[in-house]
Amino acid sequence: MTADVETELRDALRAEADTVAVMADPWPRFRRREAGHRSVRRIRAGAIAGFLAAAVGFQTNLIPLPGWFPGIAVASSPSPLADGPARGGLAADHNWMDGLRRQPIDLQDPEGWWRITDRDAIRIVYADDIPGRRIALVFVPLRLGIITDSTLVWFSGPPGAEPEQMQQAGNEPADTAVATWMQSDAENGGAAVVIGPAGSTVTISGFSGYSPKGVVESHQLSSSVGTGIGVTSLPPTTLVGGPALAARVTSGDTVIYEGPVHGGWSGSDDSQEPTDEMLTAAIRDTRGPVMDRAILARFVGHALRDSRLSVHDVTIRVRWCGKINDRPAALFTIQPTNGGVIAYAIHGDTTGWRTDLRLLLPADGAEQRPIAWRMRAEGGDTRTDRVNVVAPPGAATIVVTVVEGTPTPVTLDTSGFGTTTVPPDKPAIVTAHAAEGTTLMSTPVPAFETNSGGLPGASTNTRITG
């Protein structure tokens, strides 16, 4: 194994550490499942039908529980953001704050109604006037039968809104360390808010582009030291999805959060629809049977929206077309003028599709790189050991090297496509060789994405540089 391959494997192994996800607390799901099992056992034992009906009613909140009846708290109840006094310019307006506490409503999900049982326990995390609107984040305790939980609810209203004018504008888990909100439109722009723990430093940055070196570039929009609150106004933008914002929240040397600012945007998507002329040029050197033009247009349009790029300043190249799981599939690249190259692998059709790969590459040598991507189970999120590979033009053979393993040849079809297996949790490198055995280029096999909410290249799983 060459030193270059060893270095890339080492870097890939470090990147893999970022993909380790903490499993959600299984206790709430277990309790609900076990409650169902107990009900079945009661039926088999001939329990009184009226008692069963009441038990079901209690658990779904169709029948109110007595106030003294104890609840079983689930793991998400504590809220680090709700600790301490309310923050924001409206925190001292006690009449307005009391009015806002009357606004949260019960929430319904397939299991029943989550009821607000104690409005005195509702806490205002943050309330203030920001550019163009009034915004608030509220901690709301809830109860579903004998299970208690809580959530953080965003409220939004016009500038100077009275409490009854505030509308629910989304919610987040109560135990989240950082809450984000953004609302914008193509004509008027908007604003964004990021709330971290009290005393933290919050920086909000906006997307600037993809550098030729394969790095997402950004510019700072706002920064606040020690307040735990970040606010910025947003100019109008025509890019679908709105401005791509990122937040960084720190406490001393500890990074609490580094990721996208989630929110909503409204406007037209004309700047993300590829023209027929662009697609004709894009498939000029495609290997494999070219897919239906409408499907390809849908895939490319989705990728443009995902990468926040306009169709007017990019070059699109379809490297390969074929089928994956018996559905049309394509590997293509998008390159903004004088920028890096983003590779997308997508399979599906015009009614539904799955993005299997988003990978930001340095512009230099991008066309000569072999590209491989891991597959999840069709129709689910289960990680499989299947890896798809597309060879670059001029490559005669492809090998995949798993960390601490030996190179494994990949059988290619006439279109340069092949499949192999790699353990889902193992870093690997794909390498292309010319007919005489010369190494052309190597590319890390990206780890599975754990959060697809950000830009391609914003996480270590979606880039190969740094």
pLDDT in tens, 221-268: 999 999 999 999 999 887 766 789 999 999 999 999 999 998 888 876
pTM of the model: 0.75
d(CA 256, CA 258): 7
Q: Is 276 helix (H, G, I), strand (E, B) or coil?
A: helix
pLDDT band at 118 (very low <50, low <70, confident <90, very high): confident
Least confident of 65-79, 118-132, 365-379: 65-79
Q: Is the pLDDT of residue 37 over 60?
A: no
What CATH number labels 181-263? Answer: 2.60.40
Checking DSSP bridges between strand 417-421 and strand 383-390, what pairing results, if any? antiparallel
Q: Is 370 helix (H, G, I), strand (E, B) or coil?
A: coil
pLDDT band at 22 (very low <50, low <70, confident <90, very high): very low
Q: Is the pLDDT of residue 460 over 60?
A: yes
How much is the CA Rg of the chain, to the nearest whole Å?
26
Q: Is the pLDDT of residue 59 over 50?
A: no
Asked if residues 318 and 283 have their Cβ atoms less than 8 Å apart, the reply is yes
What pLDDT score was predicted for residue 54? 35
Amino acid at 456: P
Exposure string for 106-132, b = 16+ CB within 10 A, e = fewer: ebeeeebebbbbeeeebbbbbbbbbeb
pLDDT in tens, 385-438: 999 999 999 999 999 999 989 999 999 999 999 999 999 999 999 999 999 999
The mean pLDDT of 443-466, rounded to a whole number, is: 89
pLDDT band at 41 (very low <50, low <70, confident <90, very high): very low
pLDDT in tens, 273-328: 899 999 999 999 999 998 999 999 999 999 999 999 988 889 999 999 999 999 99
d(CA 390, CA 372): 6
The mean pLDDT of 371-379, rounded to a whole number, is: 96
- What ranges do the domains of the chain cover? 3-22+269-462, 36-69, 181-263
